[in-house]
Structure 1
Amino acid sequence: MPTDAPARGLILVIEDEPAIAELIRLNLVAAGFAVRLERDGEAGLAAISRHSPAAVILDVGLPGIDGIEVCRRLRAAQDWTPVLFVTARDDEVDRIVGLELGADDYVTKPFSPRELVARVATVLRRTQRVTEAPATLQVGSIRLDPVERRVHAGDHEISLTATEFDLLAYLMRRPGRVFGRDQLLSEVWGYSAIAGARTVDVHIAQVRAKLREASPIRTVRGVGYAVEPNRAPGQAGA
């Protein structure tokens, strides 16, 4: 499928319903993005490899290789291109599975094209933001570089999605302070409780799983989450 002239970055849309794909394309182009359309998972994976898009809008219910498998293969290959799932299924289990695979956001059909464009722009701002934080943040053995967007646990580099990185960075900039789920949704995702508190819980769980025993994130029951500066190894999940 043709690609529009580049402007704010190339967005790959993998959507098998032509009318929906065209609606997304028109709104992205109007917002200044370049767009490439693909209609199935195999072609989408090939296009990601060939064109290195800034972000991928990925329909879950694709023919052949579905969107879940496309995302699984990307993350297994250590490809952390931002992924936004679009699906007709408004089921929490589907949503959680998508987030656990490393999706950065999730919208359900029918959706507002303007909202989808806004979420794409938010994800891209995360990956392009380099000046708002000190060169390095460190809590315990976790070292985070906001400029290069890299995280290390001791000498081991940790691969995080754009959303996981920003969630960890937000907490690490304010060690010891407790943040509620709604506040994290607003500050990190850029919107309020429309996504549900479960979105935050799943991303926190993913970050903890990747950091393992080095994770400094503490759960404050009934309130939210905080990074504990002096948290002992093995105690991060409490």
Structure 2
Amino acid sequence: MDGNHKILIVDDEEDLCEILQFNLESEGFSIDIAHSGEEALKKPLEEFDLILLDVMMGGISGFKTANIIRKEKKLEVPVIFLTAKGEENDVLTGFNVGGDDYISKPFSIKEVIARIKAILKRGSVQESGGEELKFGELKVNPRKKETSLEGQNLNLTRKEFEILVLLMKNMGQYIGRDEILKRIWDEDVIVTERNVDVNIARLRKKIGKYGPYIKGKSGYGYCFKNK
């Protein structure tokens, strides 16, 4: 199943790139390498199924590279950050710019492979069906992975989109942070309830006047409902 998946490794450590390439190709993945964010951004990124992206590089950082991929190129290819920095603020920065996972160096190759496979298996919005979800002028199409507000397409990250679908499909019901983590993030991905709050805050901003309809209640989680 992995033979069709193409992965881009972006890291300025050539030895590490070679090790990752050898092991990932042994698993059946097709691998390309870039040694800087600038080099990565010149590649046809829409052709990749996943990007392994080092945070600390010469030139533009991994976070800046991911931000360009999401905001300027408007691509939703999954991104796993690789970095020696493991402080909570760095992790949150990674998720804020649209990262899907975060692996601290040094790491085991087995862990990297497991995380990659988990993200590729997960896909976007599982069991969503094809019905369009509507609330006023906010429309969400789970099948096409599209969201629009007053006829204008919204640029949501994968996580923001999946959370919105989950809340709109369970309109009026509170869903706990732990449940959102289980449904949206794979079990192999190490995240905290704080990541849910960060994504909810971003989502509220992006859906404009409908942001206040996403209610938070201590001990209960989040709910999409009328004021």
How high is the TM-score relative to the length of structure 2?
0.86
Q: Does 1:225 align with 2:222?
A: yes
Q: Does 1:213 align with 2:180?
A: no
Q: How does 1:45-194 map to 2 (within 5 A)?
A: 45-49=41-45, 52-77=47-72, 78-125=74-121, 127=123, 132-191=128-187, 194=190
Shift of 1:158: 0.7
Shift of 1:136: 1.2
Shift of 1:128: 5.8
Q: Bigger shift: 64-73 or 30-39?
A: 30-39
Paired residues, what number? 224
Determine the structure 2 residue equivalent to 1:3.
Answer: none
SS of the aligned residue for 2:9 comes to strand
Whole-Å separation in 2 of the counterparts to 1:112 and 1:213: 45
Letter in 1 for 2:97: L
How high is the TM-score relative to the length of structure 1?
0.82
Shift of 1:58: 0.7
Shift of 1:224: 1.6
Q: CA-atom RMSD, angstroms? A: 2.5
Shift of 1:37: 1.4
Letter in 2 for 1:211: I
Structure 1, residues 84-118: CA drift from partner, whole Å, max 9, x if none? 21211111111222222222222222334344334
Whole-Å separation in 2 of the counterparts to 1:96 and 1:130: 24
> Structure 2: where are the runs of 5+ without partners?
none
Determine the structure 2 residue equivalent to 1:196.
Answer: 192
Letter in 1 for 2:222: Y
Whole-Å separation in 2 of the counterparts to 1:24 and 1:98: 21
> Structure 1: where are the runs of 5+ without partners?
1-5, 233-238
Letter in 2 for 1:43: E
